[in-house]
Structure 1
Amino acid sequence: MHTPESEAHRRDAADPGHRHLFHVPPAEGGRHPDVAYLAGNSLGLQPRATRDELVADLDAWRRLGVEGHLEAERAWLPYHELLTAPAARLVGALPTETVVMNSLTVNLHLLMVSFYRPAGERTTIVIEDSAFPSDSYAVRSQARFHGLDPGATVVRLKPRPGSDTLGTQDVLDYLAREGHTVALLLLGGVNYLTGELMDIPAITAAGRAAGAVVGWDLAHAAGNVPLALHDWDVDFAAWCSYKYLNSGPGALGGVFVHERHHGDPSLPRFEGWWSTEAATRFEMTPVSRPPATVEAWQISNPPIFAMGPVRTSLELFDSVGMPALRERSLRLTGWLEELLDEVTPGRPLTVVTPRDPARRGCQLSVRIGTGSANELTKRLRHEHGVIADAREPDIVRFAPVPLYSTYHDCWRVADALAATVPVSARSEPGLRAPQSRTEGGHSR
């Protein structure tokens, strides 16, 4: 490492971020009290405000029982409405287009009930080849549900030879050739494996021009990059809240449906108690009267104790603002890239995330040329207090999250890699060979 540790401290003093608002896990040992947490793309850290807010909701249940539906300080019956406006601001949507509900894959299925309508030659579902497995499982099961062969129905777009990432032009070229066969285009806004940010507006425009419905999985985009779903004319989108939105493991997800689809009687939907107009909900009639908003896609009453952490997190994003977070993200990720450029030459390490800052979020994925990704992340954690995320067989993901990551965290990543991964062609002072082989892993 040529860059001194003091430079990281200097940058943190000038650009401190909001780490003080989060609980950072302690390191297991060594000279750093806290871990360098670079796994927020798998599970975000806990905001300090979350515990008290969650306890307040629990106390309302203790004090009020069933009357909490209307008499709690944050009444349970309309609780989800507290999340609507900040969620809409986060993804660039109208409040009538946004609702927080369920988990990501459940929401994708509910949306595909409405928006995957195979007919004639237009039956194809297009995803990226490196889509997260649950998306692959979901679209294949939707094809089977419609009596179609998933192997023939689901098209997996691959990067061109010699590239690790699927370029926007690759998608546009496919749509130009085969768009007449595409019923649904469903891609990840930011690819979970490589960290690549897709050109959402350009791909959406091309997909819709080809006659396809265009949906986006924003699991790695919401809270990571600025979004403008309404203005980009996206048909639908879904996201989770446990990564960059820091709402806890298994947190509720969010849904966007463009207003042009609201109230469309030709769209099939599954319905439940919360699908009907709130004003008529307690009339207990047998026929639903859905509102002409995204709330028509709701089914069940919301889980209150799961909504509180999402509300707390969205308040943080409202307070700081996505433009400021994106600017800090570009600075942090750019500096981590500079540091990795110092340590990767001569080592079996290759950054596969696009170098263009406009084509990535706050993630750099590193391919390791020897050993296993799980083994390396275990060593980074136990020997250096660096928590990263492994994707077997050979990808380690580092996410410098602008809310709470620091420049010192980035420096520690590079320093740990230099100390853990030996130079292949020659020996340098201070480097050591791997000593242990263990296993580990994280969620999506």
Structure 2
Amino acid sequence: MTDITLEKALQLDSKYPTYKDKFEIPTFKSLGIKNDEKESIYLCGNSLGLMPKSTRKALNDELDAWGARAVESHFNHPGEATEGKTSWVDIDLPLLPLIAPVVGAKENEVAVLGSLTNNLNALLIHFYKPEGKRTKILFEKQAFPSDYYAFLNIVKLFGYDESHLIQLSVAPGETYLNTEDILKAVDDNVDEIALVCFPGIQYYTGQLFKIKEITHYIKSKSSQIRVGWDLAHAVGNVPLSLHDWDVDFAAWCSYKYLNSGPGAIAGIFVNEKFTINNSKQNFSPRLAGWWGNNSADRFKMLEEFDPINSALSYRQSNPSVIDIVSVKASLEIFKQVGGVETLREKSIQLTQLLQDILTSSKYYLPQSETDSSKFGFKILTPLNPEERGAQLSLLFQPHYDDKSKNVMERVNQYLHDQAIICDERRPDVIRFAPIPLYNTFKETFDATNKLIEALDIIAKDL
């Protein structure tokens, strides 16, 4: 056990509300662990958020509309007059006032469409404008592979090779990127950089990048560099102010902290300065389709591109109705509970409780520890709660190639047997993500102590 008491966890639960009653919580039985309806402790919202209970009805309503009116629901939804439903032709528009405050944008700067990497590629085609010696993209060495593939292929599409990618690595002895190293890389390559794109939160370590500081610094050095952000792990997790920070573009998924379902439809931010003057005669070429065209003329089937004066102009096709209402169901919960800013205060306290228990354990190893043969774990995530989201990433050691002996594998299996669901990243990392919407301090306390209990058992075998 630890010096952090259950009483403290319960006191925090009395101070900060939980909204888990709005979500479907997996049980021992539903997970196939044992025939027990006791709820699991789900600490994996950074990978896939839980399903809001309201989602089921939202989906069924659209299936009923499809069954009742089929194609006519595009313009005459059966629930429009009685339940405030939206006809399918405009199904995504009610999401704009819901998603805009989540990312700190104006409504004309956001759109719900596509998937994360599809959207990132579409934005790269639009914003990557190599010219002269300004051809390079600056990003992190440990970026999620999809981002690397996108950056590599965009430079190749323009006739360049991998040497036009500038990848920043974590410094020796560190576990995450220092902002100073990013700013130095900008200085060192300022005349050659065409575009910069970092994650809002690093998927592996949980580090929250200083989006405002980095964006402003780059803009102060050159107005020719476009600055974008991959917000897959940041949206719905931490407060964002993309418009005020003068971000050029951003893309995100919605199946993690936005709880919109596996593979759910994603979203984009495009600063209004790039769209506000759109017209038939004046627009910057992009991957385009009829759903980005002026809605008044959309069904005239004209061979004339008249892009909407907003981020909606980047839509290519009509969105999946089922996907859209899934996102809407979750965004409505964010609105009901006071938004990301309100949830952030609880989130910081949750990860701090988790950190306090872990760092008081005899198995805790400081980030500076270099002996990989020592038994225990490191916290890869910044220990300053302002520099992380709702996640702590733990690196377990020593490593064994035999999964039945490997520390991380054994800890993860022990937790799963207790219906504590986390996210493993082989070979040796488990990501713990207490989510303020549906996790409690008692759950976090219990799960962390089960982790220590697992290590106690493993230590006896050494």
Fold shared per TM-score above 0.5 = yes
**Is 1:272 paired with 2:284?**
no
Q: Does 2:61 correspond to 1:42?
A: no
* Change over 3 Å in CA distance of 1:373–1:67 after alignment to 2: farther
CA contact (8 A) 2:141 2:167 kept: yes
Answer yes or no: is the 8 Å Cα contact 1:50–1:312 preserved in 2.
Answer: yes
Q: Which residue in the other structure is 2:369 paired with?
A: none
Partner of 2:425: 391
The answer to whether the 8 Å contact 2:97/2:107 transfers is yes
Question: CA offset at residue 345 of structure 1?
Answer: 3.2
CA distance in 1, matches of 2:248, 2:14: 43
- Deviation of the 1:340 alpha carbon: 1.0
Q: How far apart are 1:293 and its partner, in Å?
A: 1.2
Which secondary structure does the structure 2 equivalent of 1:77 belong to? Answer: helix
Query: Which residue number in structure 2 is paired with residue 135 of structure 1?
Result: 147
Shift of 1:13: 3.4
Aligned match for 2:378, one of 350, 368, 382: 350
Distance 1:170 1:317 in 2: 35
Q: Which residue of structure 2 lines up, in the alignment, with residue 226 of structure 1? A: 239
Q: What SS does the corresponding residue of 1:404 show, helix, strand or coil?
A: coil
**What residue is the counterpart of 1:336 in the other structure?**
354
- Number of the residue aligned with 2:72: 67
1:357 is displaced (CA, Å) by 1.2
| Alpha-carbon separation, structure 2, partners of 1:105 and 1:221 | 15
Within-5 A mapping of 1:41-440 = 41-72=46-77, 73=80, 74-150=86-162, 152-211=163-222, 212-262=225-275, 263=277, 265=282, 267-320=284-337, 321-343=339-361, 344-345=363-364, 347-371=375-399, 372=406, 375-376=409-410, 378-422=412-456, 431-433=457-459
Q: 1:4 to 1:99 in 2, by over 3 A?
A: same
Q: Paired residue for 1:427?
A: none
Residue in structure 1 matched with residue 403 of structure 2 by the alignment: none
1:342 Cα shift? 2.4
* Aligned AA (1:316): I
- State the Cα distance separating 1:266 from its structure 2 match: 6.0
CA–CA distance in 2 between the matches of 1:385 and 1:30? 12
Q: Normalising by the residue count of structure 2, what TM-score does the alignment of the two structures yield?
A: 0.88
Deviation at residue 115 of structure 1 after TM alignment: 0.3
- String of CA shifts for 1:51-99, please: whole Å, max 9, x gaps: 0111011101111111100111221000110111111111010111100
**Letter of the aligned partner of 1:35 in structure 2?**
S
Return the alpha-carbon distance in structure 2 between the equivalents of residues 242 and 396 of structure 1.
19
Shift of residue 6, structure 1, vs aligned partner:
4.8
Rounded to whole Å, the distance in 2 between the matches of 1:207 and 1:46 is 39
**Number of aligned residues:** 426
Give 3-state SS (helix, strand or coil) of 1:46's partner. Answer: coil
The change in CA–CA distance for 1:153 and 1:45 in structure 2 (over 3 A counts) is same
Distance 1:30 1:156, change over 3 A: farther
| CA drift at 1:290 | 0.8
- Could you tell me the percent identity over the aligned residues? 39
Q: How far, CA to CA, are the matches of 2:191 and 2:426 in structure 1?
A: 36
Structure 2, unmatched stretches of 5+, are 81-85, 366-374, 400-405
Whether the aligned pair in 2 keeps the contact of 1:373 and 1:396 (CA below 8 Å) is: no
- Report how far residue 209 of structure 1 moved: 2.5
Answer whether contact 1:93 1:228 (CA < 8 A) is retained. Answer: yes
Query: What SS does the aligned partner of 2:324 have?
Result: helix
Deviates more, 1:203-212 or 1:3-12: 3-12
What secondary structure is seen at the aligned counterpart in 1 of 2:395? strand
Aligned partners of 1:305, 1:232: CA distance in 2, in Å?
33
Residue type at the aligned position of 1:401: I
Unaligned runs of 5+ in 1: 423-430, 436-444
8 A Cα contact 1:32 1:385, kept in partner: no
Contact 1:373 1:392 in 2 (8 A): no
The residue type paired with residue 17 of structure 1 is T
Partner amino acid for 1:181?
E
> Cα deviation per residue 1:348-406 (whole Å; 9 max; x = unaligned)?
11111111111111100111112457614641343322111111122110011110011
SS in 2 for 1:400: coil
Tell me if structure 1 keeps the 8 A contact 2:27–2:36.
no
SS state of the match for residue 256, structure 1? strand
Change (3 A) 1:193 1:46: same
Deviation at 1:316, TM superposition (A): 0.8
C-alpha RMSD over aligned residues: 1.9
TM-score by length of 1: 0.92
Q: Distance in 1 between matches of 2:46 and 2:254?
A: 11
Q: Which secondary structure state, in structure 2, belongs to the residue aligned with residue 289 of structure 1?
A: coil
Tell me how far 1:434 sits from its aligned partner: 8.5
